Amino acid sequence: MSDNYPITDSHCHLDFPDFKDELPDVIARAGDAGVTRMVTICTKLRNEPSVRAIADAYPSVFYAAGAHPMSVAEEPMVSYDDLTALTKHPKMVGIGETGLDYHYTATSAQLQQTSLRTHIAVARDSRLPLIIHSRDADDDMARILREEHANGPFPCVMHCFSSSAELGRAALDLGFYLSMSGITAFPKSQDLRDIFASAPLDRILVETDSPYLAPPPHRGRRNEPAYTAHTARRGAETFGIGYKDFAAQTQANFDRLFTKVAAYTEAA
- Return the pLDDT at 90: 97
Say if 46 falls within a structural domain: yes
Query: Are the C-beta atoms of residues 174 and 145 closer than 8 Å to each other?
Result: yes
Report residues of the chain scoring pLDDT below 50.
1-2
Say if 231 falls within a structural domain: yes
| Domain harbouring 205, CATH code | 3.20.20.140
Beta-carbon contacts of residue 57 (< 8 Å; ≥ 6 apart): none
Say if 155 falls within a structural domain: yes
Say if 36 falls within a structural domain: yes
Residue 99 belongs to domain spanning = 7-267
pLDDT per position as a tens digit, 191-208: 999 999 999 999 999 999
Neighbours of 28 (CB within 10 A): 13
Say if 1 falls within a structural domain: no
- Cα dihedral across residues 134, 228, 196, 193: positive or negative: negative
Domain count of the fold of the chain: 1
Query: Are the C-beta atoms of residues 237 and 246 closer than 8 Å to each other?
Result: no
* Alpha-helical segments (H) within 154-241: 165-173, 190-197, 228-239
Say if 55 falls within a structural domain: yes
pLDDT per position as a tens digit, 66-91: 999 999 999 999 999 999 999 999 99
Helix axes 165-173 and 138-151, enclosed angle (nearest 10): 10
Say if 123 falls within a structural domain: yes
The verdict on pTM exceeding 0.85 is yes
- Return the pLDDT at 251: 98
Say if 2 falls within a structural domain: no
- Return the pLDDT at 267: 85
- Return the pLDDT at 264: 93
